[in-house]
Structure 1
Amino acid sequence: MATELRRVRDAEWDAWSDTVDRAFGELPTGPEHRALRREATEIDRSMGVWDGADCVATAGALSFGLTVPGAAGVPAAGLTMVSVRPTHRRRGLLRTMMRHHLTDARERGEPLSVLTASEPAIYGRFGYGPATQELQLTVDTVRLPAPELPGVNGVRLRLADPAAALPECERVYARLVPGRPGMLARAPGWERLAVLDLPAGRDGAGELQCVLAEVDGEVRGYARYAIRPVWDDAGPAGVVRVRHIEALDPVVYAALWRYLFGIDLTSSVSVRTRPVDDPLLHLAVDMRRCRPVLRDALFVRPVEVGAALAARTYRAPVDVVLEVTDPFCPWNEGRWRLTGDGTGAVCAPTTDPAGLALSVRELGSAYLGGFTLTALAAAGRVRELRPGALAAASVAFGSEVAPWLPHGF
């Protein structure tokens, strides 16, 4: 029987969701998690491939506002829930879904598509480049003194119910979004996923806790965490597992870390997702004791090259012609003249000689300023066609702060 690609109908969502769970080897989700996932799903942007009555492949998209250098809220299609059953591999189903996704994003006026990759090698061939990195930290709180800054004693800390504190935490998060490329403006309801605390997912830790940091009665930071009790021959060696930590200023950030360092019966603090320029590395007297581990996070793909490059600003004046290859989305192929600075940019097709040659994948990697065009050129992925073009463009594409994706999707 021939397969059929189509949007998921309301009555088919459970079967579609089950297909995703099986593909990622996950246990069946509980009713609370399932209800939140269903609410977050944009059903009109969810597609499946059906073989008769069976859902054999899935993909979805989420509508985000992505912060880029110089601008917040640029429309981006967040590709998610991608799977193909092992019984239906090598039939072009993924390619068909990817073409549908990118065409749909273009029709919606979204200049960017973004994703987090379980297997990055799959998505490079569709034009996605790694654009942000994240730090995983395991901090030795026995050997490291707690962070200190003048004023930390003036920060009031109080424990709060994680769900009840959501409005205050979201206000802090929303104020941070415009200041760092890679951060996402989310649809209402997404914040509840941040405090989902199912016993089956705790992996030996206790219940989720939340501490709020206040200055003059205003909540200016928060941390969500759980404690995994550990005991060895020398006594308590528990781990504080930080899920989220955010603050509006350095003093509040230091105060939150000082609190986490001092939790009784623990000897380390772990956090899975922080930006590569996280201040903790400099608040700590010995960053080696933070045991930083680097990994890729957000992958970016320009859907419309001209609109994407014009949506951001540039760290230095730039005037360069880019020779772009994009066989999967041929409307992007050709020469584009990018002119811009810190106030804005224009990018339009041109017949002028090119200064740089690269694929849309490299544009995605450089787009948020997390990877330089110079580094990509050193790997043979960007070619300089006009002397001086590479250095000037590489500086212009940079970002004052490291791009960072605060959570998956």
Structure 2
Amino acid sequence: MGTDLARNRATELRVVRREELDSWYDHLIRAFGGVPEPAEERQLWYSVTETDRSIGAWDGDELVGTAGAFGFRMTVPGGAPVPAAGVTMVSVAATHRRRGVLTSMMRRQLDDVRAWGWPLAVLTASEPVIYGRFGYGVATCHVNAEIDTSRVRLSVPPGTDDVRLRYAAPADVLDVCEALYARRVPLRPGMLVRQPGWERMGLLDPQSERNGASPLQCVLAERDDEVVGYARFRVRPEWEAAGPKGTVVLEDLEAVDPAAHAAVWRFLFDLDLTSTIDARRRPVDEPWQYMVSDIRRCRLLVRDSLHVRLVDVGAALEARTYQTPVAVVFEVEDSFCPWNAGRWRLTGDTKGASCQRTEDAADLALSVRELGTAYLGGVSLVSLAAAGRVRELRPGALAEASVAFGSPVAPWLPHGF
């Protein structure tokens, strides 16, 4: 039960029944502005929604809150896919703000995740200010870019001309693209192993959401009869007095090596009747940024993406590997999940790790939120210490742990949920 502070009565929290899914989802849509989704999009979300991991908050007979979780496996440093609850579809009715409904749902959800034996919970936030108090830290960012292809040139590496490009209907080559995506997942922290049904999200193409652009298109990059890259995109035609100024709207792109990556990006740069590439949710270290002639005319915007919460500190820190040998004792503060609070001794290297309770003196002090921020290797503990979020208690421990926690590639969440 969650306490309704304004009315001094209990709010019931329980798992959503299948027959309640329509009203549960209607409540969610209203909380996010009330604009109906196309039927095909709604049905697709229904097909992947795990109702046994979805909860609602009821004030009497009135549904006033929603929260769900997807059963994901997420790549962590070292390449292992680790169980993670993908927290999603969180909403509270505007009539029930500031009454503890959200806190009650977050409390119930994290208790459930712990009971499921999953060490991590992750989410993307419509409002980033909300989730820090529940122990979530911003662990990945992504780049949005608007590239002026009329003035920016691409310098490609040797071998690019050996890659053949061909158009294909997106649905016809879905399996091929998914197989290539699966090859990429272990190579970058933050990527999600695609669960059954999620592959269809990449084909979602309601006309009402194209904003004047074409239906979804796909191009494959091939070498020696092997698919080595792909891009899914739309083209939004536009004309002015001087001529065409269309936009390429990039939806998804993967490639296995520098030449394939360059070939796909060069194709996008050279599309006829266009002068802009609108690329959203791309990795912050994606190679095309180091191939362009003028990065300023690419109008980069970095945004927060994946927020990570360690539900089981010991299991989470043992699940990943570390760039350099590390032996450090953390003093962890976690008021929302008190089972994590206290001292933990982490020892690890590139082969594995152990993280156990200890009574030894602490080397570093921080909250579980900072551990979540640093967990995937995209934010250094040194940076967090500079912000006053990590305290060094043993000289040298901060630098040692910070290097060990790093990742050679930036963590990245490829799609929302």
TM-score computed with the length of structure 2 as normaliser: 0.96
Name the CA distance, whole Å, in 1 between partners of 2:362 and 2:10: 45
Q: Is the 8 A contact 2:154 2:293 kept in 1?
A: no
**Does residue 329 of the first structure (1) align with residue 353 of the second (2)?**
no
Per-residue deviation, 1:147: 4.0
Q: Is the 8 A contact 1:147 1:257 kept in 2?
A: no
Correspondences of 1:288-367 after superposition (within 5 Å): 288-367=296-375
Q: Relative to structure 2, which stretch is displaced further, 87-96 or 26-35?
A: 26-35
**Does residue 381 of the first structure (1) align with residue 373 of the second (2)?**
no
Per-residue deviation, 1:204: 1.8
Residues 63-101 of structure 1 show CA distances to partners (whole Å, capped at 9, x for unaligned) of: 111100003210000100000001111221111111111
Per-residue deviation, 1:152: 1.8
Count of aligned pairs between the two proteins: 409
When the two chains are superposed, the root-mean-square deviation of aligned CA atoms in Å is 1.1
Distance 1:164 1:52, change over 3 A: farther
Residues 281-303 of structure 1 show CA distances to partners (whole Å, capped at 9, x for unaligned) of: 11112222222111110000000
Name the CA distance, whole Å, in 1 between partners of 2:36 and 2:284: 34
Residue equivalent to 2:118: 110
Residue equivalent to 1:232: 240
- Among 380, 392, 414, the residue aligned to 1:372: 380
Per-residue deviation, 1:232: 1.7
Q: Is the 8 A contact 2:228 2:260 kept in 1?
A: yes
2:129 alignment partner, SS class: helix
Correspondences of 1:143-222 after superposition (within 5 Å): 143-222=151-230
1:271 alignment partner, SS class: strand
Please, which runs of 5 or more residues in structure 1 have no aligned partner?
none
Q: Is the 8 A contact 1:144 1:284 kept in 2?
A: yes
Q: Relative to structure 2, which stretch is displaced further, 86-95 or 341-350?
A: 86-95
Residue equivalent to 2:103: 95
Name the CA distance, whole Å, in 2 between partners of 1:25 and 1:31: 17
- Among 9, 31, 34, the residue aligned to 2:17: 9
Q: Relative to structure 2, which stretch is displaced further, 252-261 or 152-161?
A: 152-161
Residue equivalent to 1:258: 266
Please, which runs of 5 or more residues in structure 2 have no aligned partner?
1-8
Residues 18-51 of structure 1 show CA distances to partners (whole Å, capped at 9, x for unaligned) of: 1111111142122211111100101110111122
- Identity rate, percent: 62
Q: Is the 8 A contact 2:155 2:291 kept in 1?
A: yes
Q: Is the 8 A contact 1:297 1:405 kept in 2?
A: yes
Name the CA distance, whole Å, in 2 between partners of 1:189 and 1:72: 22
Name the CA distance, whole Å, in 1 between partners of 2:283 and 2:154: 20
TM-score computed with the length of structure 1 as normaliser: 0.98
Moved over 6 A (4+): none
